[in-house]
Structure 1
Amino acid sequence: MRTWGAAAAAGWGPTARDAALWAGMAGVGVFAHREQAYPSPVLQLVLPLLVLGVAVPAGRTRPGVAVFLANAVVASGLADPTTTTSPYLAASAVLSYLLGLRADRPAPALLLFGACAAADLALCAVLGVGAVHWFYALSYIPAALLLPWLAGRYRRARLTLVHEGWQRAHDLELRQRSVAEQARLRERTRIAADMHDSLGHELSLIALRAGALELSPTLTGQDREDLAVLRAAVSDAVGHLRDTIGVLRDGSERQEPSASSVEPVEELVARTRESGVTVHLRREGTDRALPPLVDRGAYRVVQESLTNAIKHAPGSTVRVSIARQEDRTEIRVTNSAAPTVRPVTAEPTVPPPGAGRATGHRGLTGLRERVRLLGGTLHAAPREGGFEVLATLPDQVGPKHPRSTGEPREEAEVASESALRLTAVRRSTGRRFAAALAAPVGLGLVTLVSGAYLAQQLTTCVLRPVDFAALRPGQDRGEVARLLPERQFRYVPDAVRALPALPGTDCAYYRSNGNLLDQVDLYRLCYEGSRLVAKDVLPG
C-alpha cells in the first residue's frame, strides 16, 4: 500500500513539472516585455501567458491543442508592425517537442502543422504585412513546429526500443529463474525418492521382524494380536509412502537407482577413469557409515562435478577429495584448465551414469538445493584456470537449512538484475545525453543572450515619428529630452556619420522604428550648446 506522501508525490509530480515549464515560458515573456519601448501589457504579456497557462497542462492529454494555442500566441505577434519576433516562439517549440514525444500517430500532427501554417498565412494576408513578416511566417514558425516535433518522435522511438529490449531481458531473466526453480523442485523430488527408498526399506524390516515375533511361543494371544495390528500398520505405511512418492516421481526419476543401492564413490570414479578421464580420488579421516540421504548427497556432489568437468573442460585433470571430520564430511572436486589440444584417448569420453539429466548451471542449482536441505553448504567458483566445487555435509540432517554460499537469493529479497542494469543504463544515457546537449545548448544560450542584448539596444533608442515631428529648432535641450528615448543609437554607419552637419554642433542619432530585421531611417538631432539647432532624417 502506498503511503500518503508517496501518493501526494505521484499526484503533484506532473503539476509541479507543468508549473516549472510555464514559469520558464513566462520568464522569457516578462523579459521581452520589459525590453520593449512602449509595450502593451494586456496584449503582449497578460493574454499570452493566460493562453500558455491553459496550453501547458492541456498538453498532457491533448498535445495537439497545446501546440495550436501556442501557435496562436506566436501568430498574434504578426500584428505588431515594428517587429516580427515573438518571445513565445520557444514555448511553441517546446510544446511541439512534447507533441512528438506523447502522440503516437504522425498524420494528425502533420494536419495540425498544415492548419497552423494556413492560419498564419491567412493572418498575414488580412493584416497586409510586409515581406519580413511573410518570411517569418513561412520559415521561423514552421521550423519551430516541425523540427522539435521530429526530435520528439525520435526520442519516443528510442525510448520504445529501449523499453522493449529491457522487457525482453526481463522476460528472459524470469524464464531463467523458472528453469532454476524447476531444477530445485526436481532435486527435492529426488530427495523424496531417496527418503522413500531408505525409509521404506527400514519400515519393511520392522514389518518383517513384527511378523517373526508373532510366531514366538512365549507370547500370549493378545500380544500376537497387537503385533499383527502393528505389522499391518507398518505395511500400510509403506504402501502409502510408495503411492505418495510415486505421484512425485517423473519418468526420469523412475530410472534412478534406489538410495539403498547407490554405488560407492570409488566405483563411480573408477568407471569415469575407464572412460578416458584422468581422475584422482583421495579420502581422509575415519570411514564410518552415514545416513542414506547424506551418503546420497555426497554421491551427487561428486557425480555432478565430474559431469561438469567432462562437459566444460574436456581433457582436464580432476581431483576428488573426501575428508571425514568429527561431525561432517567435506567433498572437494577440482578440475584443471582444459588443454588447448584435446588428448586422444582409447575410448570416447562419456559422462558418468545419470549425468545427462541436469548439467551445467541447472545441475548446480539442483545440487545447491539438495545440499541446503541437508543442512550443508556449497561453493562453486573458478579457481586457477579451472573450477572447484566444495560441499560440506553434516553427519546428521538438522532442522535448519543455512543458505549455501553463492546461492541465488529469493526474488523478493533482491531487485531484478535486468531492472538494476536498466537503471544504470538510464543514468549513463542521461549523462551522455546531457553532455551531448550541453555544447549546442550553451551555444544557443550565448546566441540568445547576444540577440536579446542587441534587441534591447535597438529597441530602446527608437524615437517615435510623432515625437520627432513635435521637435522644433531653438528648443532647450532639457525640453527636448522629455520626448527622447532612453539612449542614443550607437551603431551609426560611417557613411551616415560622414554626412554634412552644421559647423560647431554636437549631433545625436536615433532609430525611427523598432524593426530588428530591416534597416530603418535615422533621426539626427544637432545641438549648439544647450539649444536644438537642426533635425534631419537620414536614410538607413
Structure 2
Amino acid sequence: MLRRGGNSGATGAPGAAVGPVVRDIALWAALAGAALVWFVGHPEPSVALELVLPLAVLAVAIPARRRWPMAALCAVNALCAIGLVHPLTPANAYVLALAVFACLLGAGPTGTRSALLTLGGCLAFDLALCAALGVSVVWWYWTLTIVPLALLVPWLFGRYWQARLALVHGGWQRAGLLERRQRLVAEQARLRERTRIAADMHDSLGHELSLIALRAGALELSPTLTGQDRSDLGELRAAVSDAVGHLRDTVGVLRDDGADRATAPTTESVGQLVDRARDSGVTVDLRQEGSPAPPGLSPLVERAVYRVVQESLTNAARHAPGAAVRVRITHEAGRTRVTVTNTAPEHGRLAPPGSGGHGLAGLRERVEPVGGTLRAAPSGHGFEVVATLPDRPRNTGRDPAPPDDSESARQLIAARRRTRLRLAAEFVVPGGFALLTVGSAAYAAFQLATCVLRPADFADLRIGQGRTEFAHTLPARQFPYVSDSVKSRPRPTGTVCEFYRSNGSLLDQVDVYRLCYDGSRLVTKDVIPGTDG
C-alpha cells in the first residue's frame, strides 16, 4: 500500500498493476464496511448524504492518493465535516478514513512542511464550518480534540514507518555495497597473488640467470677455449642477459604498486645462497654480528632478509661483474640489520642499472610492510643496500578495515537518528496531546454527567411544589453551556430558571429541561427538544 505503481505500465508485465488495484479495493471495502455499520446503527440517516456520496468520494480518493495525497486527504476531511452539520451528533465513521489517509500522507513522499500545511488547513476548515453553523459546545469539542488526533497521530506514525523503511532499505543497500566490495577485494587478492608469484619468479629465476651469465663470462676468459667456444659462450651470456631483461619486463607488466609482497617460504638459508654465489664466481664475504638470531624471529622477517641478500647479489653480479661483495647481518635490540656492499667492478665504473628498476622497489615492498626501512645508494666507488627490520612485524600487509567514518556509515547513522526521533515524536507528541485531551474530556464529561435530570424525576415534578420538596432529585449542578437563544425564550415575569440535561450522552444532542421558580416555588417546567443549549 505504500509502494508506488506509476511505472507498472512501462514494464509491460500484465500483473504489474494488479497489486495496487487489489489493495485499493480492499481498503475501500474496509472503510465502506465501517461506514455501513455506523449507518445502520444510527437513527434517521440520510442514504444519499451519509452513505452513497461518501462511498463514491472514497472510491475516487483512494486511487488518487498516489498522485494527489494532499487533495485526497482534504476530500476525506470534507466527509468528516458532514457530521458537523448533522442535527444529532458530529461523529461519523469517516474519521477512520481520515486517520488512514493521514497515515498514508505521512508514509508518502510529501514534505513535512506541505503535509503540516494540509493538516492545518483541514482543521481550519472544520473550525470555520463550526463557527459558520453556530454549533454547540459538543461539536466544538469534537472538532478541537478528535479531529486533530485523527490527523496528527496517524501522520506521525506514517512518518515513522517511512523512516523505518528507509533505514531498512539503506541497510540492504549498504549490504549490497559491501558484497560488491568483497568481490572486488577477492579479485584484487587474486591479482596480487599473480603479481607475488611473478615477483618471486623475478627474484629467484633472475638471480639464477644472473649467476649463469656470470659463470659464462668467467669461462669465456679461459685460455683453453677455442675462438668458436668463446663466441658460443658470449652468445650464451648475451642470451641469458636478454632473458633476464625479458623477465624483468614481464614482471613490470604484472606489477601492482599496492600489492602484497609476502613471499612463499624458502628452504634455502642465507649461507647456502652465498655459497652458490661463490660457486658461480662471485666474491662474497658473509658475516653475522651481534647477538645470535632470536629463536622467535618471524618467518616474514627471515624471508625478507633472504630476499634482500638475494636481490643485492643479483644486482652486483649484473651491474658490477667481478666486484667483491660484503654481507653483514646483525641481530640486536629486537631488530635485524642487513648491509650488503659491493665494490666497483674490475674493469671500470659501475654499470648503469637496467631498465625497469623493479628490484629495489620490490625490496621496499617486502621490507616496509613488516615495519622495516630500506636504504640503497652509492657508497664510495661501490653500492650499498641497508635494510633494518623488526623481529616481529607490525603489519602483515592485509587490507585495512573499512573506515567507520565512511559515507555509507554516516548515512546509516543519520537514518537511525531520524528513525529514533520520529519514533519519539510518534509517542511524545500524541502523549502530550492525549494528556491534554483526556484531561479536558474528563472535565467536560464530569460537567455533563453531573447536570443530568432523569426523565422520570422530571415527570414527577408538579407545578406549585416548593424546591425543598424535590431538591434531593435534582442534579448536583446545572447545565453550564446554555446558549443565549435558549436563555432568551419566553418565561413568566420575575422568575428564575434552571437548566438540566435529560441524559449523559457526550456526542449526541439531548433534550434540555428548564425549571422556572418564583421565589422557591416551581412555576413552570419545559422541555427544549434536541439541543444542548
TM-score, reference length from structure 1: 0.46
